[in-house]
Amino acid sequence: MKKLYGTGVALVTPFKKDGKIDFNGLEKLVKYVVNNNVDYLVALGTTAETATLKKEEKWDVVKCIQRVNYKKLPLILGLGGNNTENVIKEINSIKNLSDFYAILSVSPYYNNPSQEGIYQHFKSIVDQTGSDIILYNVPKRTGSNIMPDTVLRLAYNFKNIIGVKEASGDVLQSYKILENKPQDFSVISGDDFITLPVVLGGGEGVISVIAQGFPDQISNMVSLARDNNIKKAFSIFYNILDIIDLIYEEGNPTGIKTLLDIIGICNSYVRLPLLMGTPYLRKKMLLLLKKIKSI
């Protein structure tokens, strides 16, 4: 399987004021990122508020993304959980698995499994589905960290485990994987703040939240880093660093949805237990956007 390089976008799920999915907003968002040089799309990740979507809603979201994308860019499907048997059933229920480049599967949350438990979880998924899996490590949400040794063990033992979205926020952890991984295993930054160190250390790119607000800039930044044009890559990063910081100030996707509302892509509505961005956040964002230089 060919590797995914560059910038992937962790798409939000736009909502209307009444809480229903805003498919017009989703269509506008997909067109915006596809037409502004991103490399692939990620549906139903954490940023999509997947935890609050009903089963039918999830597939309506995926179908909408597929229709608008029309096979222009590879599509990764977020599908994971803390019940191994259910994850396997869900993957096996997908009729057209070939429509997706890979499944992005989060480490089991809340159960707080041991490293061996995490290993056995992903082993069972691969053994019983045959899907290509990208591990998703996001300890601040799951409560447990997939340690580099566990990632490497999975990478070497299963050819269908093709990469890791590393969102621990610890660049050293990414480097330990990069130093020792199989050649065809992808290390993808799952954290906008450490995209450049991960790419410069040998990573393939990023699955980004901010890229749906600045698709062209983030794609350009990652391409420059991969071409070793470090100074120019960092000039883009520093130009939007404060806004990256701001989109996480009131949580994700509250911040990015506030930004997308400001730039006219979709509304900023979220579902409980999340709350919409405060007027204070919006005001700070508007001030920062005025300061950002055109790149």
- Between the alpha carbon of residue 249 and those of residues 101, 215, 280, the distances in Å are 32, 20, 11
Interacting residues of 8 by C-beta distance below 8 A, sequence separation 6+: 38, 39, 40, 41, 42, 76, 188, 205, 206, 207, 208, 211
Tell me how far apart the alpha carbons of residues 267 and 31 are, in angstroms, rounded to a whole number.
16
CA dihedral sign of residues 164, 170, 282, 254: positive
Give the helix ranges, DSSP H, for the chain: 23-34, 55-69, 84-92, 115-129, 139-142, 148-157, 171-180, 195-200, 215-226, 230-247, 254-262, 279-291
Cβ-contact 75, 43 below 8 angstroms: yes
CA of 217: how far to CAs of 9, 17, 208, 210, 264, in Å?
13, 30, 12, 10, 18
Q: How far is CA 284 from CA 151, 213, 242, 246, in A?
A: 39, 16, 10, 8
Q: In which residue are the tokens 């960092």 written?
A: 234
Whether 267 and 17 have beta carbons less than 8 Å apart is answered as yes
Residue of 32, 101, 119, 165 with catalytic role: 165
Backbone angles phi, psi at 57, to 5 degrees: -60, -40
Catalytic pick from 119, 136, 181, 257? 136
Q: Does the active-site annotation cover 136?
A: yes
Side-chain-facing half-sphere of 282: CA atoms under 13 Å: 12
- Which of the residues are catalytic? 136, 165
